[in-house]
Structure 1
């Protein structure tokens, strides 16, 4: 994992775990790496991982059982909320960029339909 300088590392770690949850790398109820293990894998301070895990616990994205490890939530509503958040975030950025060129919503919608129908080329 490569970190950018624009965003806190713990936040980037949370985003990476969310992506892995969305794309099925981590399944509901699956154990995720321990704090120490992930810190070693990523080459970051364990306190950074601790902060990321604490935030994910607060979001109910992970559950930590003392002495057993940390696990992805089994709550499918949370998974759907994470998916929806990711989709809305990506769409928002895309829409802002396209609108800044003066492209109308109707043009964008038609381009998306063509993109999906023709195998990813507008």
Structure 2
């Protein structure tokens, strides 16, 4: 994981867990690394990971069972909610940036359709 300097590391750790949970890389109920193991793996202060885990527990993304470890929630509605939040944030950022370029809602829809049509079945630009 590569960290950027624009936001706190613990938030980036949370976002990484959310993304991997939402896209199916991490499965509901899956055990996750201990706080110490993840801190060593990411080369960050254990307190940073502790804060990320505490926040994820508060949002019901993970649960910690004494003596057994920490696990992703097995509540499918949490995954759906996280996925929806991530999609909404990305769409909002995209629309805001396109609007800053002077594009109307109709222009944005047209631009997006044109882009997707030109990419066929693989809309991801692999450049």
> What is the TM-score of this pair, normalised by structure 1?
0.93
* DSSP 3-state at the match of 1:70: strand
Give 2:14's aligned residue. 14
Quick check: 78-87 or 104-113, which moved more? 104-113
Q: Secondary structure at the match of 2:7?
A: coil
Give the 5 Å matches for 1:18-37.
Answer: 18-37=18-37
> Hey, what's the Cα distance between the residues in 2 that align with 1:68 and 1:113?
49
Alpha-carbon separation, structure 1, partners of 2:82 and 2:21: 9
Q: Shift of residue 111 of structure 1?
A: 2.1
Using the size of structure 2 for normalisation, the TM-score is: 0.89
For 1:54-73, list aligned pairs within 5 A: 54-73=54-73
Task: Give, in angstroms, the shift of residue 112 of structure 1.
Answer: 1.9
**Secondary structure in structure 2 of the residue aligned to 1:51:** helix
Secondary structure in 2 matching 1:63: strand
Alignment of 1:1-122 (within 5 A): 1-119=1-119, 120=123
Q: Deviations over 1:31-87 (max 9, x none)?
A: 111111100000011111111000000000001111111111111111111001111
User: Unaligned stretches of 5+ in structure 1?
Assistant: none
SS at match of 1:71: strand
Computed over aligned residues only, the root mean square deviation of the Cα atoms, in angstroms, reads 1.3
SS in 1 for 2:110: helix
